[in-house]
Amino acid sequence: MSPPRRLTRELSALDGAVVRIAGHLEDYRALGGVAFALVRDGSGTAQVTLKKGTTAPEMFTTLAELPRESVVAFDGTVKLSTKSQRGVELMPDALEVLARAEVPLPLGIVDKVNAELDTRLNHRVLDLRKPAVRAVFELRAALLASFREGFARRGFLEVETPKVLKQGAEGGATLFAVAYFEETAYLAQSPQLYKQMLISAGFERVFEIAPAFRAEPSDTVRHITEFTSLDAEVGYVDGSEELRTILEGLVVDALAGARTRLGPNGYPHPEHLAEPKLPFPRVPFRRCREMLGQAGNDTDLGTEDEKRLGDLIAKEFGADFYFITDFPTEAKAKTFYARRQEGDPSLTEYFDLGHRGLELASGGMREHRLDRLLANIAAAGLDPASFPGYLEAFRFGMPPHGGWGFGVDRLVQSVARLPNIRETRLFPRDRYRLEP
């Protein structure tokens, strides 16, 4: 009977114990009378030390001809060792080959030569075996878990809204149509309409972390067609400043929670999770245009504008996170649910959250008055008859409310300083990729 399996990270506390380890054979090297096998599991890599005279000869033979990345299991005794880089090694008594890998490998796992991103994504299962790649998803999981804790502390209820819809929140231009029995339906680009409806239902504070789909023909390092959106909506809110205060607090808590969850050695770049200073700078949109040398331009910011602005704000305010406030109505023309400012209807009560030149979130106060909402829908070129369930929520009493949509993938990309957003998804989907 085999001894109990233990993970690599547990071995340093098991000196003298007889255990089983199992994982992928990362490397095998024979040096005269001694040989070393490196076995990688989900927690790290263990060193197995084979010595002639004490280790069964057939073990050397099997490992010498076994392809890298085959799945193996070793039974043996744990031994603390100052000679091992890992401080611990396993002295093996038995070897079992659980699955043999094919050769050649289409992608190196521990090679120092980096493969092109397309090659990595084409062979994603192998790419995900790399510890540095896995670290991205451990970071992602830690951030999401910490966000959920932060929402719970603030009295939010986690909800799940439909992802197959009769209509979209911003019209049909960026929607994926799907056959739905005898009708045409659309994949949700946002839970916007439903989370507002929940405010009318009396839920008051809701959030959702869920997939969303946007059929934009973009092919950039910051756009994908399937993404994870972190959405929140707050009823009876005083204004956009209250929303910004909640949001920046959640971001700070999420980074702090991720630091705690991952520990000092759990993420290879702990400086990426440094605590940002509160409050984040608030920079009005028109001031941003002035900083860019584009005074008088009220159209929405483009990608290059966002990049430059992130550098300019970092220099002037010394901050990586910042809010762009007071968006012109012209810049948010399609966002019919955005509330206009009372004193100046050319401005909305909307804001964006940016980080190092990348837009992470957009939100603000919503229009809760039915007559004005209907006027906004018409001004956006949409038909109110397309939104019967949504508008019913306003006909029977809608409190003042606001919220935001937050791109989880973009946060991970920006915090981890990854060059391409596709690296934040296990199996990304973009304009050209449906496999694997």
Instruction: Write out the catalytic residue numbers.
Output: 214, 216, 222-223, 359, 362, 410
Nearest partner of 430 among 172, 227, 206, 191, judged by Cα: 227
Q: At 247, give phi and psi (nearest 5°).
A: -65, -45
- Helices 240-262 and 131-153: crossing angle in degrees, nearest 10, is 130
Burial of 182: CB neighbours in 10 Å, binned 0-12, 13-18, 19+: exposed
What DSSP designation does 339 have? P
Q: Are 364 and 339 in contact (CB under 8 A)?
A: yes
C-alpha 165/C-alpha 277 separation (Å) is 40
Beta strand pairing call for 34-41 and 18-31:
antiparallel
Nearest partner of 164 among 182, 184, 144, 146, judged by Cα: 184
Q: Are 165 and 390 in contact (CB under 8 A)?
A: no
Q: What order do you get walking across the sheet with 282-284 strand by strand?
A: 157-158, 205-213, 226-235, 401-407, 358-365, 350-355, 321-325, 282-284
Reading the block at residue 268, the tokens are 């290879």
- Name every residue whose Cβ is closer than 8 Å to that of residue 214 and which is 6 or more positions away in sequence: 174, 189, 225, 227
Beta strand pairing call for 226-235 and 205-213:
antiparallel
Amino acid at 162: P
Q: First-to-last CA distance in the chain?
A: 38
C-alpha 250/C-alpha 246 separation (Å) is 6
- Name every residue whose Cβ is closer than 8 Å to that of residue 56 and which is 6 or more positions away in sequence: 93, 94
Q: At 328, give phi and psi (nearest 5°).
A: -65, 150
Distances (CA, A) of 123 to 127, 219, 245, 276: 6, 20, 42, 36
C-alpha 76/C-alpha 51 separation (Å) is 13
